Amino acid sequence: MADPANERDIAIVERQLGRYPRGMVAVGARCVCGRPLAVVTRPVLPGGIPFPTTCYLTSPEAVKAVSHVEANGVMAEYNAMLAADDEAGRELRAAYRMAHDLYLAFRHELAVRLGDSEEHIAGTSAGGMPVRVKCLHALLAQTLVMGRGANPIGDLTLARIAGEFAPNVCRCAIDAE
Ligand SMILES: [Zn+2]
């Protein structure tokens, strides 16, 4: 794991989420200030609960910014783009399918490394992938963890919320200590 979670990260994420981040194995993306923005969660939580949302958005500022654009009907817009019967639609569908495959490959590597079973989440990624847009929070989390180019809808979401949230502009309100 490139950036394993330490005690301080876990304490910050607990405050961001308002609950203990069970199964958190790494920080997937950090704000320019160092605080976690998204975490990597293991495929099976302690207690045996299957957990498909491997890349999980924790930054309250990012969560809020995404909720604003979701409330403005952006998901319907992205679903229409995905369904478009033209070249742009075909390209977007192909890239979105690749984001899904990448998500599954990322989780599979994690499952193998941790000895977690994917039995109950096989083929399930997050956010509505591979054919629908259902949760922009999950798609943005993938973009933050894997970088631009990994998920086209996550990339669009990040661009759309730039005025409210960006990983290189610290707006964190959660204390580190
Ligand atoms: Zn920050």
Query: What are 92-106's pLDDT values in tens digits?
Result: 999 999 999 999 999
Average pLDDT, stretch 1-14?
86
Q: Which domain holds residue 111?
A: 7-160
Cα–Cα distance measured from residue 112 to residue 97, given in angstroms and rounded to the nearest whole number:
23
Q: How far is the CA of 22 from the centre of ligand 1 (A)?
A: 22
Per the structure, how many domains does the chain have?
1
Cα–Cα distance measured from residue 135 to residue 129, given in angstroms and rounded to the nearest whole number:
9
Where does residue 150 rank: exposed (0-12), middle (13-18), buried (19+ CB within 10 A)? Answer: buried
**Residue 176 placed within a domain:** no
Measuring CA to CA, how many Å separate 161 from each of 2, 62, 99, 104, 153? 27, 8, 20, 26, 12
Cα–Cα distance measured from residue 74 to residue 113, given in angstroms and rounded to the nearest whole number:
37
Write the CB contacts of 23 (distance below 8 Å, at least 6 apart in sequence): 41, 42, 44, 45, 46, 51
Q: How far is the CA of 49 from the centre of ligand 1 (A)?
A: 31
Cross-strand bridge partners of residue 29: 38
**pLDDT grade for 120, boundaries at 50, 70 and 90:** very high
Cα–Cα distance measured from residue 86 to residue 75, given in angstroms and rounded to the nearest whole number:
19
Query: Does residue 177 carry a pLDDT above 70?
Result: no
**Residue 174 placed within a domain:** no
**Residue 172 placed within a domain:** no
Instruction: Enter the tokens of residue 64.
Output: 């809020």
Q: How far is the CA of 172 from the centre of ligand 1 (A)?
A: 4
**Residue 49 placed within a domain:** yes
Query: Does residue 176 carry a pLDDT above 70?
Result: no
Measuring CA to CA, how many Å separate 135 from each of 5, 120, 177? 25, 20, 31
Q: How far is the CA of 145 from the centre of ligand 1 (A)?
A: 16
Please give all residues whose CB falls under 5 A of ion ligand 1, grouped by chain where several chains appear: 31, 33, 35, 170, 172
Identify the DSSP state of 26: E
Q: Is residue 36 within a helix (H) or strand (E), and if so which, with residue range? A: strand 36-41
**Residue 19 placed within a domain:** yes
**Residue 175 placed within a domain:** no
Average pLDDT, stretch 152-168?
97
**Residue 1 placed within a domain:** no
Q: How far is the CA of 92 from the centre of ligand 1 (A)?
A: 31
Angle at 49 between CA 9 and CA 67, to 5 degrees: 60
Write the CB contacts of 2 (distance below 8 Å, at least 6 apart in sequence): 26
**Residue 118 placed within a domain:** yes
